[in-house]
Amino acid sequence: MIYLSFNKIIIIIIIILCKIFYSIRRRNRQKRVENNIQHPLSPADAPPLPISESADADAAAASSTTITTMFRQASRLLARSINQQPKMMARAFSTDVPATPTVDSTFVESWKKVIPNMEPPKTPLTFMQPRPSTPSTIPSKLTVNFVLPYASELSSKEVDMVIVPATTGQMGVLPGHVPTIAELKPGVLSVHEGNDVTKYFLSSGFAFIHANSVADIIAIEAVPIDQIDQSLVQKGLAEFTQKLSTATTDLEKAEAQIGVDVHSALNSALTG
C-alpha cells in the first residue's frame, strides 16, 4: 500500500467534493436568484466578488455540467468555488485581540538575553480567545466550535449533542464526554439542539473534545445535506468504481479508492 500523507488525502477529497458542490452551488445560486429564497444558514448574502462573477458567466457558457469538464476547470476555479460561499460576513476593520493577552515568559526572557534591541514576536497565545476552565460538575450543554478554512461555521454554540463521523464510526458527543482526539472521515455531522437537527456533510478533518465540554471540529469542506445532488453522486460513484478497477499504479488505486469512499459516504448521507 502506498503511504499518502494526511494532507494529500485531504486534498484529494476536497477536489472530489468541490467538483460536486461547485455545480450544485452554482445551480442553487441561480435558482435562489430566480426564486429569491434565502439560504437558511447564511447570515447575509454578501455580493460575490467580481472575479467569481466572470468565472460564473464563462463557466456557464463554456461547460456543461459534466464532471469531466468541471475537473479540467476545477483547478482553476477551486478558489472561486470557495469564494462563492454565501456565508461570508462583510465586516468593518476589526481586530481579535482578547481582553487579557497572555505571553510566554520563558520565550520572552530567552529572547531578551540574546537579542536585547528588538521586540520579541507575538505568539498565538496572545491572540487566543480564552477558553472556559474545567467545571467540577458536568455542564448541561456542549459548546461547539465548528471551523472551516474560509469561515467559522459555528463558534461557541451551545448544543445538546453532536454526532461526528470518526474513522471508527459515528461518534456521539454529549456534555461531559471524555477528552478525545478523533480523526474524521468524510461523513455526516449532525448537530442536535433541542428538537432541531442540522446535518452537514464533512470532508475529513479532526475533532477535539476537551474536558470542559468544548468540542472543536475542524473540517475543510462542509455542506448542508440538502444541497447535495443525488444524480451527480451516483455518477461520481460509478466513475470512481470504474477507475478503481482500471487503476494500475498504487497512487491511482489510492486516489480511486478515496473517490469511491467519499461518494459512498455521500450516498449513505443522502439515503440514511
Partner 1 sequence: MAMASLRREGRRFAAPLISSQPITAIRSSLIAEEQAPLGIRSISTQVVRNRMKSVKNIQKITKAMKMVAASKLRAIQTRAENSRGLWQPFTALLGDAPSVDAKKNVIVTISSDKGLCGGINSTSVKISKAIHKLTAGPEKETKYVILGEKAKAQLIRDSKKDIELSITELQKNPLNYTQVSVLADDILKNVEYDALRIIFNKFHSVVSFLPTMSTVLSPEVVEREAESGGKLGDLDSYEIEGGETKGEILQNLAEFQFSCVLFNAVLENACSEQGARMSAMDSSSRNAGEMLDRLTLTYNRTRQASITTELIEIISGASALEG
Range in contact with partner 1 (rule: CB under 8 A) among 107-115, 186-194, 225-233, 248-256? 107-115
Q: Are 172 and 209 spatial neighbours (Cβ–Cβ below 8 Å)?
A: no
**Closer to partner 1 by Cβ: residue 180 or 234:** 180
Residue 218 phi/psi, 5-degree rounding, is -115, 120
Interface with partner 1 in residues 230-269 (CB under 8 A): none
- Residue 40 DSSP symbol: S
Helices 230-246 and 250-271: angle between axes, nearest 10 degrees: 150
Q: Do residues 186 and 109 make contact, with C-beta atoms less than 8 angstroms apart?
A: no
Instruction: Please return the burial class of 200, using the count of CB atoms within 10 Å of its CB with bins 0-12, 13-18 and 19+.
Output: buried
Nearer to partner 1, 116 or 194 (CB): 116
| In the complex, minimum distance from the CB of residue 264 to partner 1, in angstroms, rounded to a whole number | 18
C-alpha cell at 160: 445538546
Q: How far is the CB of 165 from partner 1 (least distance, A)?
A: 10
Per-residue contact flags (x/-) with partner 1 for residues 120 to 139, judged by CB under 8 A? -xxxxx-xxx-x--------
Question: How far is residue 15 from each of residues 8, 72, 78, 218, measured CA to CA in Å?
Answer: 11, 11, 8, 18
Contacting partner 1 within 80-99 (CB under 8 A): 80, 82-83, 88-91, 93-97
Q: Which of residues 145-174 bind partner 1 (CB under 8 A)?
A: 145, 147-152, 155, 166-168, 171
Kindly tell me which of 139 and 241 has the beta carbon lying closer to partner 1.
Answer: 139
Residue closer to partner 1 (CB basis): 67 or 270 = 67
- Residue 230 C-beta: closest distance to partner 1, Å: 26
Within 190-209, the residues that bind partner 1 by CB under 8 A are: 205-206, 208
Query: Residue 130 CB, nearest distance to partner 1 (Å)?
Result: 10
Q: Give bridge partners of residue 216 from the DSSP assignment.
A: 145, 208
Burial 169-191 (b: 16+ CB within 10 A, else e): eebebebebeeeebebbbbbbbb
CA distances from 91 to 24, 227, 257, 259 (A): 27, 26, 41, 37
| 34-53 residues near partner 1, rule: CB under 8 A | 46, 49, 51
Site for partner 1 in 50-69 (CB under 8 A): 51
- Binder among 181, 196, 249, 272 for partner 1 (CB under 8 A): 181
- Does residue 218 belong to the site contacting partner 1 (CB under 8 A)? yes
